[in-house]
Structure 1
Amino acid sequence: MLTWAAILGGGAVGAVCRFTVNWLVERRSGPAPWATFMVNVAGSLVLGLLAGAGAALPGWVGALVGTGFCGALTTYSTFGYETVQLLRSGPGGRGWAVLNVLASLVVGLGAAALGWQLGSLR
């Protein structure tokens, strides 16, 4: 039962954080995929930290932060949707779509690797 509560609590906080980031970024940059990029990179970093810390953390922390918070914060479906929207926006949008995919992969994996390294420090 504690695991479920941890996931629900982390998910509630993650969802509010995602909404807030989206709201703040769209107010400044319009409907560009920056908010999705930011939350996905942040989630990659946090998950890397958790993975790097590994067994040093109690199991409920993984449920609370990894499954709950990061699960609600990050989004693959919105990333896919926004990439398709960029593709459909015309010839210039195709380049942005490719850049969105490449940047998300490279920066997201880099953030996860950095998190792993930081989480492994003891």
Structure 2
Amino acid sequence: MTSPGRPPHQDLRLVTLVAAGGAVGSVARYLVSLVLPHEPGEWPWSTFAVNLAGAFLLGWLLEALARRGPETPRLRRVRLFFGTGMLGGFTTYSSLALDITQLTGDGTWPAALGYAGATLLLGTLAALLGVLLGARTPPSTFGRLLRGRDDR
């Protein structure tokens, strides 16, 4: 998939794959924010939800892919599109920082500290649960994404 001697981050095909996944993930995050809106000073449920879900899904994806064996070009494309791109666009630690800043600016320090602590603790646990599930995921899970002998 990459040219000999060219690092993956300079391969336009791989960069485009990450960008496409990021666009999908960002739209999904926006849709969650429409379903779970919050007012200033309130717990930012949408950011909390996407970060926990993203931590779980990334833990699952990376563990499940790692257990398939050495990374092939196809596995790299799956990892880059879904992991780096889609889940990178879906999760939003910049919004986490902004939410904490807004909560502290509104004078709701206990909520800000609780939100930061809960995100870090529960995010870590979500990632761990994802890894545990990924370890139990059969290799056939990725089906047609990885089927075939053509591994370009």
TM-score (structure 1 length as normaliser): 0.89
| Pair 1:62-2:63 in alignment | no
Match of 2:16 in 1: 5
2:112 corresponds to 1:97: yes
- Identify the match of residue 39 of structure 1 among 33, 50, 58: 50
Note if contact 2:67-2:135 (Cα within 8 Å) is conserved in structure 1: no
Structure 1 residue aligned with 2:3: none
Cα shift readout 1:48-105 (whole Å, capped 9, x = no counterpart): 0122111527111110011100111111111011101111112xx1000010011001
Aligned pairs, how many? 118
In 2, Cα distance between equivalents of 1:61 and 1:49: 13
What is the letter of the counterpart of residue 83 of structure 2? G
Identity across matched positions, percent: 36
Give the C-alpha shift of residue 35 in structure 1.
0.6
Instruction: Return 5+ residue gaps in structure 1 as ranges.
Output: none
Distance 1:69 1:80 in 2: 20
1:30 matches 2:45: no
Higher relative helix content? 1
Q: CA deviation at 1:5?
A: 3.0
Task: Give RMSD over aligned pairs.
Answer: 1.5
- Rounded to whole Å, the distance in 1 between the matches of 2:57 and 2:101 is 27
Aligned counterparts of 2:128 and 2:49: Cα–Cα separation in 1: 16
Moved over 4 A (4+): none
Structure with the larger RCO, 1 or 2 (CA within 8 Å, 6+ apart):
1
